[in-house]
Amino acid sequence: MKRFGLIAIGLIGLFLYSSLYVVYEGQRAIKVRFAAVLKDSAGTTAVFEPGLHFKVPLIDKVRILDARIQTLDGEPDRFVTSEKKDLIVDSYVKWRIKDFSTYYLRTGGGNKFQAENLLKQKISDGLRSSFGTRTISEIVSGERSELMNEALLEASSKATDIGIELVDMRVKQIELPQAVRSSIYQRMRAEREAVAKEHRSKGKEQSEKLRADIDAKVAIMLATADSQARITRGEGDAQAARIYADAYGKDPEFFSFIRSMDAYKRSFNNNNDIMVVKPDNDFFKYMKNPQSEK
């Protein structure tokens, strides 16, 4: 009897243990009973929050799903613009489960890998539609945010089919295919070189104009200065001649003396100077006894 009591207690304990389950933070749980997702009294899917919960053993199956925001960062994809030009776009998406029942049923029992494959296709369709209505210059310029918003709205409407909510979508990088990148770079380089040559030629032309203008002004200034110098020099020479003439008229002997002193000073400035003249030459007139001449 005691043995049967222990067995009964063990069965009850096993029953209680198998009827309890724990939902951790960041997770949500749904119950599946007879291959159908269990609903609450309001007819909506019963989603169980984090905590300790009960289930009917052997009848209810609990599916734990990750309720946190997930990141889908796949491989870069190729898209065509309105100009029929290919672009390689690398993007990522932030998503989370919104309808746990739909997500569970559409993804083969909550298979995250299958869910991301379905989501990639829907996102690719949204991006393809947005890129197909714009040119390359519009995409890489100021319309990228608008493009992302359009793609996010379109992909979000399709993602509800698998119970997913798109939180955010961003483009990390946009590149040209390697096959056409070189030719486009060459064309851009040629255009920039043409613009540079045009600016360079205009600058050279302006430089020549400025240089010619400055040269003309300098020539005029030099000619004016030379003319003024000649006039000033002529006036000075004329004034000096008048002064010499006035001085000579007032005292010719003194004037002659002063001129001779200047001549002596210039002639004997160097100790090595040698002069070969007759002693009675007029040049030495004032080097003799001045009184003898009177």
CA distance 130 to 263: 104
Q: Which residues contact 107 (CB under 8 A, 6 or more apart)?
A: 114, 115, 118, 162
User: For the residues of 178-242, what is the DSSP string, one character each?
Assistant: HHHHHHHHHHHHHHHHHHHHHHHHHHHHHHHHHHHHHHHHHHHHHHHHHHHHHHHHHHHHHHHHH
> pLDDT by residue (tens digit) across 198-255?
999 999 989 999 999 999 999 999 999 999 999 999 988 888 888 877 777 777 777 7
Considering the domain boundaries, does residue 143 fall inside one?
A: yes
Residue 29's domain spans which residues? 2-66
Residue 232 belongs to a domain: no
Task: Looking at the structure, tell me whether residues 50 and 105 fall in a common domain.
Answer: no
CA distance 76 to 131: 14
pLDDT digits (tens, 9 = 90+) for 90-107: 888 899 998 888 888 888
Query: pLDDT category, 280, cuts 50, 70, 90?
Result: low
Strand partners, 53: 21
One domain for residues 155 and 126: yes
Question: Burial of 44 by CB count in 10 Å (0-12 exposed, 13-18 middle, 19+ buried)?
Answer: exposed
Q: Which of 181, 206, 222 is the last residue of a domain?
A: 181
What's the whole-model pTM score?
0.55
User: Residue 185: its pLDDT value, please?
Assistant: 74
> What is the predicted pLDDT for the residue at 42?
78
Q: Are residues 74 and 177 in the same domain?
A: yes
Please say which residue of 181, 214, 235 terminates a domain: 181
- Inform me whether the pLDDT recorded for 114 exceeds 70: yes
Domain boundary among 181, 208, 227: 181
CA distance 139 to 119: 23
